Amino acid sequence: MKKNKISKKKKIIIAVISILLCILIGIFSAIPALVMSDMVNSHMDVEVYSSNEYGLKSESINLTTEDGLSIAAWEVNTEKPKAIVILLSGIQNPSVTAFWGYSKMLKDNNYASLLIEMRAHGDSDGDKVCLGMDEYLDVKAGVKYIKGNKNYKDVPIVVWGTSMGGSTAINSIGEIPEIDGLISCSAYSSWQDAFCDNMVNMGIPSFMVTIEKPFVSIYMGFTYGFNKLDINPLEEIQKLNGRPALLAHSTEDSQVPYASFERLIVKAKEQDNIQIFEREGDEHFICYTEYFENPIEDTEFSLAILKFLNENFN
């Protein structure tokens, strides 16, 4: 009788533990979907700005990706450019056309630019933001356009992105050998890293964050395909093969925590020709907000960008 009672207690304990584990797994599984669903599973309607407001003449073009999407882009040319710079924006706002000030700074220093509105943003096709895992195909379409344009014969190509655009820029130079240089601002080392770093910043215990990370990968795998998970900045930064790169981040970035930058630097230092720009405070766009429309006035930032370009593509 006693043995039967003990056996029943064990079964009850095992059942309770099993139920609790199932509940915990359900909660950890649900968190990525609850946080990310509205963020990535929709088309981002963004305000498009005119280059005329910046005294720039631009040409609107459409790019076609390998997976059949039409991507909106704008070209700003200059006579005998030293390089052409592909500009990319972030995960939600703003439109890449908010970066006309960057384009003007480049043109004034004899660099052409191609502003690409990545998939699922503005006038570009797509209904899913792919966190940089597919957006490199948008950049690849831009590179194909540049390579087919006689105005850019033998002109180097540089990709410059901010936030998700920074991560996409890293993925792009890793996957596209025709790109000659990289400027990456506020990039995450991987989306899983950014997700979990923000959990840490919210005060969630580290052991829970460690448990959560695989569930983020699982959600991403089911959302985008598990074969896409290998396309991430930590892997792609190792494929520079001597091509110059400038990596920038702010020390208190509240959107992409500084820990991502530290991980990328560890991998990037295994490569040659790497430059680093750090800014104190929470400056996600690196350029100070008051100078964003005219970044040349942010002298520390603009000099770092132009110095990098002039040293490598003059």
Give a yes or no: residue 25 inside a domain: no
Query: Does the CA dihedral 10-14-17-19 come out positive or negative?
Result: negative
Q: How far apart are CA 221 and CA 227, in angstroms?
A: 8
**Three-state secondary structure call for residue 281:** coil
pLDDT of residue 92: 84
Give a yes or no: residue 223 inside a domain: no
User: What integer is the mean pLDDT of 107-117?
Assistant: 97
Give a yes or no: residue 177 inside a domain: yes
**Residue of 123, 87, 118 whose CA lies nearest to 104:** 87
Give a yes or no: residue 301 inside a domain: yes
| For the ranges 9-18, 115-124, 264-273, the one whose mean pLDDT is highest | 115-124
- Predicted TM-score (pTM) of the model is 0.92
pLDDT of residue 29: 83
Local confidence band at 6 (pLDDT 50, 70, 90 cut-offs): low
The pLDDT tens digits of the residues spanning 48-85 come to 999 999 999 999 999 999 999 999 999 999 989 999 99
Give a yes or no: residue 60 inside a domain: yes
**Residue of 90, 159, 100 whose CA lies nearest to 120:** 90
Task: Name the H helices within 112-163.
Answer: 136-147
pLDDT of residue 5: 57
Domain count, the chain: 1
Distances in Å between the alpha carbon of 251 and those of 61, 166, 257, 280?
Answer: 37, 16, 8, 5
Calculate what percentage of the chain has a pLDDT beyond 70. 98
Q: What are phi and psi of 231, to 5 degrees?
A: -90, 90
The pLDDT tens digits of the residues spanning 79-98 come to 899 999 999 999 988 999 99
Q: How far apart are CA 312 and CA 277, in angstroms?
A: 16
Answer yes or no: is pLDDT of 241 > 60.
Answer: yes
Q: Are 28 and 215 spatial neighbours (Cβ–Cβ below 8 Å)?
A: yes
Q: What 8-state DSSP symbol labels residue 121?
A: B
Cα–chain center distance at 270: 21
Quote the domain boundaries for residue 107: 41-190+232-313
The pLDDT tens digits of the residues spanning 189-228 come to 999 999 999 999 989 898 888 989 999 999 999 999 999 9
pLDDT of residue 3: 55
Q: How far apart are CA 255 and CA 261, in angstroms?
A: 12
Q: How far apart are CA 138 and CA 168, in angstroms?
A: 10
User: Higher model confidence: residue 20 or residue 96?
Assistant: 96
pLDDT of residue 253: 96
> Which residues in 107-236 belong to E strands, given as ranges?
112-116, 157-162, 181-185
Give a yes or no: residue 200 inside a domain: no
Question: Which amino acid, 99?
Answer: F
Give a yes or no: residue 265 inside a domain: yes
Give a yes or no: residue 127 inside a domain: yes
Q: CATH no. for residue 271?
A: 3.40.50.1820
